[in-house]
Structure 1
Amino acid sequence: MIVIKFTKECMRNICCSLVSKRMSSTSKCKVAVCQFTATNDKSENLTTVQNLVSDAVREKARMVFLPEASDYMASDKNESKSLSESLDGPLMKAYKEIAAQNKIWLSIGGFHEKIDDNTIYNSHIIIDDVGEIKTIYRKVHLFDVTIPEKKIFLRESDINVSGSQILPPIDTPAGALGLAICYDLRFPELSTLQTKLGANILTYPSAFTSSTGRAHWEVLLRARAIENQCYVIAAAQYGRHNKKRVSYGHAMIVDPWGNIKAECPKYSEEMETNQSIAFAEIDCEYMNKIRQEMPVQQHRRNDLYNLSMVLSKKKHIDDNDIFSFADKKILGSTVFYRSDYCYAFTNIRCVVPGHVLIATLRSAPRLVDLTQEEIADLFQTAVAVQRIMEMEHNTVSSTICVQDGHFAGQTVPHVHVHILPRKKGDFERNDDVYTHLANHDKEENLQPVRPLEEMCKEACKLRKYLN
């Protein structure tokens, strides 16, 4: 259950449409992991999904995890291409309606996302409890494997195009999810990066073959949980889909110590049902206890080895985006720059004209909590924004400040950089800027908030520099 509290300051921000919220959630969240036997009948598969979601609702789960190929399992590549749909199609619309009507989050573990006749992605899609798509992960590792003695002849690349991006974790009622699909499970680098970026749950919706499932499924899932000290949720396809394909099943939830907390049956020809659901609580306090008792992440030898993501270029900003800033929400219309790890936005109260902020996309209270990639990206962005603000305000100097911790003057517990373009005589004494900065957002010294229209107009103007 999520409880929302509003302070006086939050109410002021809401009035100016920054929609500040103070949210505190319980540390435990019940989730459901599912398996079923998808076929090439999309309507029948959808009915199965509806039934599983109904079961989850009765058990008061907050989120349902569905397997790879939840939409369909085709008998050949031509059929698969013909059955694929865009995200604007009727099947995705139906998934959204299921989520909204049942007020539950859905992990659509594998959807054949059609972009055009030549481009289909295997996409893991998260839908929230009002029926909105929150994020889309496109599978980066495609299963192209031929093992004649085990009768495995699979080339996923004959149908799908590989994705090109590792996504940061997505916040959900259960926690921060790191998204992956099936074959991604065999690449521990992906899970390590997701954990560095703040994931406390790793997800592997899958359609493991019967033979590879018997050999590797459980041991790989438990290994990912143990080495990352994360929960692992792995929905699965199960049973005989057609003459060519049998899936292993054994959907499960593994805790950060490697214990299986919930599981569905392994494939057996004797099983009478082709769908199963299991439940477990995600307990963030338990995960944090394990990480504190054995601080594996802190013991990594970054001086000897390091794993980093390939940075992409500046991201598109949608005015309807909402960015987190500790317990506050920042409207996309006030954001003028976004990278892989941070974003820059206009300020609700300015110490000097042109005073803007840069915050990390992931909520982290202090610099020491950031990864090397996040730190590098944050300060590269700070330099770029500094140049922009100096050009815009015709200055040749700036104060660049990080208040790192409460006793350093930090009032918002989320890493952020202040950029203040400086002019001669803007303060009686030059270092008075730090006093003003420390006091400008304290309750007893609150200045009137800037009109939202003014902040949006400034952001729009600053975007032009970056374009």
Structure 2
Amino acid sequence: HQQKQPYRQHLISKAPNKNQEKVHLSSSTVSDTHFMYSLLGKRTAQVLWQSSHSSFRMMATQQPARIAVAQMRSTNDKQHNFEQIQTITERAKANDVQFIFFPECCDFVGTHRDETLKLSEPLTGPTVEQYRALARKQNVWLSFGGVHESIIEETGTGQEVKNIYNTHILINNVGELVASYRKLHMFNVITPEFKFRESETVRSGPALVPPVETPIGRIGLQICYDMRFAEASTLLRKQGAEILTYPSAFAVSTGRAHWEVILRARAIENQCFVIAAAQIGFHNKKRESYGHAMVINPWGTILGEAGNQDLDVVVAELDFDKLKSVRANMPCFEHRRDDVYNLSTRVGLAYSQDTAAKEKFSFGGIEIPPNTIFYTSEHCFAFTNIRCVVPGHVLVSTKRVAARLPDLSPAEINDFFQTVCKVEKVAERLYDATSSTVTVQDGPDAGQTVFHVHCHVMPRHVGDFPENDQIYGELNRHDKEPERPRRPVAEMAAEAARFREEMARLGL
């Protein structure tokens, strides 16, 4: 044990009820211990890792970040699936975990497309409400790594569900749904076991979701097949992820070949913890999952792995000093050649008061009122204007103060113009336009008066100026005429709220 080699003890004696098993826990040391136990009615293993020379942290405190990772076998019986979730939650919480991770399809696995659509629910439905109540009751954070979120469409005869999202949700310990991510990559493949086309039922999500701040660290949300696309995990790491999650219902043949290899690769290349909850066994006659739920540290070491049981839970402690050490001693992300290659993303956030509490934005040295900001991305933000040339005239600026476009990094340039395109799309929808003037005054001879890179987005209509290009003269004058009053902040805030609402509706 001085070498910290993992070991397990599994001591089971029969309880009076022949369908149940009594559990005995045994340990040898406080600092290096593995426990295995059986859940009532199910053979279930729990692995508890501790390092005798590690210190842990939980955001503001320096306490252990203890998590549980579930393995289960879902069917089309939603109530039985929830009972599995309850059992795992109760047993994990008894071991003082802060966060429990459940796999893809934890709500159900349908036997065919029509049944899947019929059983799916919106995130406001009874299944997610059960999850929220469970989190409140147990005072624990829960990750449900792939529920079937129904997409309800209006038809001539009423409402109909034709497609769903595969959605990873996080629920905090008071039962609030704090984040949701819709799976990006559709599993349309032919394996030795079966032909599977996820896109026949599931609609792919619109974007990555920025890492979510939680009591155990910043979590990047992914689902199953997403793990094969390394760019997504790299973008999440660049945005601050410390933990990458891959809840899965992985096929058996590909699982044997690739499951551990891919998960360890994602941990090593991004220097993050990887948490992969898993489905296992036959869900129906046509579908079987690989299992092997696991937790991996930033060095690529497997901290714990579930066994072959239908119902299994791995408990692990995440050593963030190890994460810091790995990143400091091998600073790969400082060595990246963004001047030669780089990744960009459509990740962005509708601005909220939660964002305002964490980050302040200024434009040309002036702090922008938080309620007038309607969108943020990794490098940029968008806000309403104090003086408008036309209705809907808004601004996009960079977070970092840079005077001109050539002063921006490749990543900032990509992000800047992607943000401009999104804002233009929403502005045209809100102001019933099909055209826009989009312009950057880059330098004083081009009319720039605020030496902080920004773009004017102005929806256009036929006849809004006698001569179309007169808008440029008006743009050059609009902030220099003292008699032109500034808009009230309340008016700008109301407009920003409309932009936020429309961007959320469009999934931007």
Match of 2:139 in 1: 103
Match of 1:114 in 2: 150
Q: Which has the larger radius of gyration?
A: 2
Match of 2:344 in 1: 308
- Partner secondary structure for residue 60 of structure 2: strand
Distance in 1, matches of 2:187 and 2:368, equals 39
Aligned pair 1:459/2:501, yes or no? Answer: no
Match of 1:146 in 2: 190
Distance in 2, matches of 1:225 and 1:333, equals 36
Check the 8 A contact 1:233/1:253 in 2, yes or no. Answer: yes
The letter for the 1-side match of 2:493 is: A
Match of 1:68 in 2: 104
Distance in 1, matches of 2:413 and 2:219, equals 22
Residue 230 of structure 1: CA displacement? Answer: 0.7
Check the 8 A contact 1:325/1:359 in 2, yes or no. Answer: no
**Residues 102-160 of structure 1, C-alpha deviation per residue, up to 9 Å, x if partnerless?**
1211110010000121220111111111111111111111111113xx22221111211
The letter for the 1-side match of 2:322 is: Y
Structure 2 portions without partners, runs of 5+: 1-58, 153-160, 362-366, 385-394, 401-407, 424-438, 441-446, 454-477, 483-487, 503-508
- Partner secondary structure for residue 218 of structure 1: helix
TM-score, scaled relative to structure 1 = 0.68
Aligned pair 1:127/2:171, yes or no? Answer: yes
Which residues of 2 match residues 313-332 of structure 1 at below 5 A? 316-317=350-351, 321-325=354-358
Note closer, same or farther for the CA distance 1:169–1:40 as it changes in structure 2 (3 Å cut).
same
Distance in 1, matches of 2:114 and 2:327, equals 47
Which of 155, 171, 187 is 2:197 aligned to? 155
Structure 1 portions without partners, runs of 5+: 1-22, 347-355, 362-369, 389-394, 402-420, 426-453
Note closer, same or farther for the CA distance 1:101–1:455 as it changes in structure 2 (3 Å cut).
farther
Check the 8 A contact 1:239/1:249 in 2, yes or no. Answer: yes
**Residues 215-264 of structure 1, C-alpha deviation per residue, up to 9 Å, x if partnerless?**
11111111111111110000000112111122111000000000001110
Note closer, same or farther for the CA distance 1:25–1:306 as it changes in structure 2 (3 Å cut).
same
Q: Calculate the aligned-residue CA RMSD, in Å.
A: 3.8
Match of 1:47 in 2: 83
Distance in 2, matches of 1:242 and 1:465, equals 45
- Partner secondary structure for residue 265 of structure 2: helix
Which of 184, 206, 217 is 1:175 aligned to? 217
Aligned pair 1:292/2:328, yes or no? Answer: yes
Match of 1:199 in 2: 241
Q: Percent identity?
A: 42
Match of 2:67 in 1: 31
Note closer, same or farther for the CA distance 1:78–1:458 as it changes in structure 2 (3 Å cut).
closer
Distance in 1, matches of 2:398 and 2:452, equals 13
Note closer, same or farther for the CA distance 1:78–1:236 as it changes in structure 2 (3 Å cut).
same
Which residues of 2 match residues 226-265 of structure 1 at below 5 A? 226-265=268-307
Check the 8 A contact 2:166/2:183 in 1, yes or no. Answer: yes
Which residues of 2 match residues 430-449 of structure 1 at below 5 A? none
Distance in 2, matches of 1:151 and 1:47, equals 29
Check the 8 A contact 1:335/1:343 in 2, yes or no. Answer: no
Match of 1:336 in 2: 373
The letter for the 2-side match of 1:325 is: K
**Residues 339-382 of structure 1, C-alpha deviation per residue, up to 9 Å, x if partnerless?**
33344689xxxxxxxxx998969xxxxxxxx9853576479989
Check the 8 A contact 1:322/1:331 in 2, yes or no. Answer: no
Residue 54 of structure 1: CA displacement? Answer: 1.1
Distance in 1, matches of 2:114 and 2:409, equals 44
Match of 2:95 in 1: 59
Please identify which structure carries the higher helix content: 1
Note closer, same or farther for the CA distance 1:99–1:91 as it changes in structure 2 (3 Å cut).
same
Note closer, same or farther for the CA distance 1:424–1:121 as it changes in structure 2 (3 Å cut).
closer
Check the 8 A contact 2:374/2:499 in 1, yes or no. Answer: no
Note closer, same or farther for the CA distance 1:465–1:69 as it changes in structure 2 (3 Å cut).
closer
Check the 8 A contact 2:372/2:493 in 1, yes or no. Answer: yes
The letter for the 2-side match of 1:215 is: A
Check the 8 A contact 1:57/1:102 in 2, yes or no. Answer: yes
Distance in 2, matches of 1:379 and 1:25, equals 39
The letter for the 1-side match of 2:256 is: R
Distance in 2, matches of 1:25 and 1:170, equals 18
- Partner secondary structure for residue 25 of structure 1: coil
